[in-house]
Amino acid sequence: HGVTMLDESRVKGIALSVFAFTLIGAGVGAAGTSVLALLATGVAPERRAAAAAVTWIMMVFGIVVAAGTAGALLDPYSEQRLTAVSAGVVGVALLVTVLATFRLEGRGPLLFASAAPVAGPPLSLKEALAEIFADDEARRFTLFIFVSMLAYSMQDLILEPFTGLVFAMTPGQSTSLSGLQNGGVLIGMIATGVGGSAFRGRLPIELRSWTMVGCLGSAVALAGLAMAAWVGPGWPIAANIAFLGLCNGAFAVSAIGSMMGLAGAGRRQGEGVRMGVWGTAQAIAFGLGGLIGALGVDVARGAFGTPGKAFALIFAAEAGLFLYSALLAMRTRGVARPVVSLRSVAI
């Protein structure tokens, strides 16, 4: 509704949009961190990585379906159509959320029967935080999560305006292209999980290796988008965005698997608190990345005068962050030789 108010009153439209995006960010951050904590405390250690992979795959599948459907319904564009499509997407999301969380924690002390029981008295919040930040590995992994998610999210709010301003795409076309990216993420996640299962015990491939490959591939794809911003129409933008999604998916599913593995690596129980810290780092980086990406493009457009150079600068910065993330992943301890195995989940 805030978007449709911009023509009548820019101040009211922006104020309403800021309020709405604040609520979205708070809700996503709270829900995402809580889900990770539930998985860490309610799933058996040997199944945590696979359970997290399935959770992320389901999330991305929902994004793909929503983006593809919304993109198809938005053309021909009108404010009334935008309002109707947005309301429909929100309504379906709310219904699915209510059904998914109904009596979720009322089935017993454990989320899944196969989860290992807690041994000994639980850690207090102060003790758990002290243990996390006293562990060099946990501190390095927290930095990796923050930097990699910052790189992952910087293009989140600018990819559709980029295709519209540089490649003259309609809102429906740019939304569908975003769906193509998330489709690539989905394929990358599934391919990483299935590949890890297929090569289990045959190749010395760790989650860390898959994470590094995903980060390096994402850096290459973002460098391609920086070139696309200079070249403009004629660049294979759809293939470039699909490749970005593929590499993002490989990075995301292996990183979340590493997170789950390290969550249970503490000296005492406290998986939920460790996941809470890493989930908070992820949420802050995700929100900050979107803000930096969008604000950076606006500032750079004012400085350069053309959108192409502005987008090229931001995409190049993202590529640099992914390269740094690959270096951080290389220094992170390997969690387990078999990478995420989707077949190991039994829910």
- Write the DSSP symbol of residue 235: B
CB 340 within 8 A of CB 193: yes
pLDDT of 269: 54
171's tokens = 């809102």
Residues of the chain with pLDDT under 70: 45-46, 48-49, 105-129, 193, 195-206, 263-272, 333-347
216's tokens = 């390096």
CA 234 remoteness from chain centre: 29
Whole-structure pTM value: 0.76
76's tokens = 């021909």
pLDDT of 142: 86
Measured CA to CA, the distance from residue 260 to residue 214 in angstroms comes to 18
CB atoms within 10 A of CB 126: 9
Measured CA to CA, the distance from residue 167 to residue 270 in angstroms comes to 49
pLDDT of 309: 93
232's tokens = 């403009």
pLDDT of 107: 53
Spatial CA neighbour of 329 closest among 273, 262, 244: 262
DSSP of 106-175, one letter per residue? -S-SSSSTTSPPPPSSPPPHHHHHHHHHH-HHHHHHHHHHHHHHHHHHTTTTTHHHHHHHHH---HHHHH
Measured CA to CA, the distance from residue 35 to residue 271 in angstroms comes to 12
Hey, what CATH topology would domain 10-342 get?
Growth Hormone; Chain: A; (1.20.1250)
For the chain, what are the domain ranges? 10-342
pLDDT of 237: 95
Backbone φ, ψ for residue 127 (5° rounding):
-65, -40
pLDDT of 284: 86
pLDDT digits (tens, 9 = 90+) for 200-212: 544 444 677 888 9
